[in-house]
Amino acid sequence: MSGTGHTVRRRHALALALAGLLTAVLLLPTAGAVAAPQKAKSAQTAKAKGAAKASAKGRTATAPPAQACNKRNNNTYQKVLGCVTLEGVREHQAAFQAIADANGGTRAAGTPGYDASVDYVVQTMEAAGWNVELHEFPFTYVPPPTLQQLTPVSATYETGIFTGSGTGTVTGNVIPVDINLVPPRASTSGCEAADFAGLNFSGPNDIALIQRGTCDFGVKAQNAQNAGAEAVIIFNQGNDPTREDLIIGTLLPTGAGVTIPVVGASFADGSALAQPGSTARIQVDPAESRPQVNVIAELPGKNDDNVVMAGAHLDSVQRGPGINDNGSGSAALLEVGQTLSKLKPENTIRLAWWGAEESGLIGSNQYVASLSQEELDRIALYLNFDMIGSPNYIFMVYDSDESGFTAPVPVPAGSTAIEDLFESFYTLRNEPYDDAEFSGRSDYQAFILNGIPSGGLFTGAEVPKTPLQATIWGGVAGQQYDPCYHLACDTYANNSDHALEVNSDAVAFAVLTYAYSTQTVNGVRGKRVPGNFSIPAPAGPEGTVGSGGGDEHDEES
């Protein structure tokens, strides 16, 4: 392929030789679920097979045998939509779950779980006949921190590092700083130097316990360091249900001078640490260089100067296996890649599984930055699939026409045609849909900043579903679209089969459409998709959204 930068050709022997990958595969409970070299449904895990069949709503009963899908050119909408099955997508998610189970419960960038996920994708796509390469990029791995209470109770708490934190290990007294545990729990804890007056931070290992509220995290941490603290715990405020869980944020820019370890805690854990006589141990290890890779798979077309790209991030957060975020998008791309393996496309198809998205869109940004202007100009469009099976879902399409949101980023010309195509698919399926803010807060960011038309699908993250949305899509009003967003419970069970099935078909529908012609997006003529298939005009969004969603990284407390 034409990508420049740190790109290396992927050979099968090299894939097996990558550190930790083969070990992870051997540790998995069902070897067939990991190797998955062919789209053979008999090789899937029993769990994935049962879950998929129970929710396929009759589609798999009429789908052609997997062997037929593997061997033929699936060059029509009917063939592709018949071969892309929920059963097949769930097979790949089961493999990602098994990989996480064998590697400490995570598939985060910089961990063996991510390496094993890369190996699985490479083996699957190479076996399907795609040209596969690895694109390497620099990555700074931050090891997960430790927060242990030693007295008056012994406990280990879930925690995380604040961006801009110093490193080190501190074992000592926990000193509460102007905290308020009594409802309504208004807090200015640590916001002023006066909050530390009268507190004894003269020891060599004192830990300041500070409550969220009012001022920037960086202000709180800097004041604690100035007072003599050797480490800081910032726990959530507890003043409403959205401020109960573990809090992690950034100390920058107001805490740019902080050099001591700063970690987070939930309100409940902070309350426990506030007990008289409390001592604790905090460990924040130094970051280290661990280069990571994106997986890039390509199927050459007749027009190699008009490349259709689709991508999904492959990594999870450190706290969990990431089977919805983003095993859903990654698994759908794998199923589509296997289904289209015999296609003879008009335009070259390039699929990407991005690394280190959860660390700041690093893999996709590095990939785009490695391309020359000539190579960027060859990319006709980019499709992004991040969280497409949320259990309390609503169907959303990136709002490039700004009918629901004013985009905070540039919207490249041609992006509205992509939105229209996805909306037409939902209309075809009689599925209601709505807008997702065209925010650039996922891996399409680098593409739109380089003027490449982009679009994608989203089923929601941490935002609660409204009562109106519950009447339209079902589910639970007041509950997050994904109650396990960025948590350890984002497992194989954290899924809506219906949302995942519909959206996997939408992915296949869009990729096949643009594999034949991108004329509606960039004016480059191709061919109509073979067969007699009528695509309706979009029915229009439901109009239930009015605020953004996604993963915020705020400095405000």
Residue pointed to by tokens 């229209």: 420
Which H or E run contains 421?
helix 415-428
372/349 Cα distance (integer angstroms): 19
Residue 133 and residue 9 in contact, taking contact as beta carbons nearer than 8 Å: yes
Q: Which of 476, 448, 479, 443 is nearest to 461 (CA)?
A: 479
Rg for the chain, CA atoms, rounded = 24
Secondary structure of residue 71 in the 3-state scheme: helix
Cα–Cα distances in angstroms (integers) from residue 489 to residues 145, 325, 470, in the given order: 20, 11, 23
Angle at 7 between CA 440 and CA 297, to 5 degrees: 65
Q: Which of 362, 346, 341 is nearest to 297 (CA)?
A: 341
Return the number of other C-beta atoms located less than 10 Å from residue 72's C-beta. Answer: 13
| 126 token code pair | 């190479």
Secondary structure of residue 299 in the 3-state scheme: strand
Three-state secondary structure readout of 125-191: HHHCCCEEEEEEECCEECCCCEEEEEECCCEEECCCECECCCCEEEEEEEEECCCCCCCCCCCCCCC
542/383 Cα distance (integer angstroms): 22
Residue pointed to by tokens 């920058």: 252
220/184 Cα distance (integer angstroms): 21
Identity at 335, one-letter amino acid code: E
The one catalytic residue among 357, 419, 437, 501:
357
Q: Is there a catalytic annotation at residue 357?
A: yes
Q: Which of 514, 545, 337 is nearest to 421 (CA)?
A: 514
What helix, strand, coil percent values describe the chain, rounded to 5? Answer: 35, 20, 50
Secondary structure of residue 259 in the 3-state scheme: coil
Residues annotated as part of the active site:
357
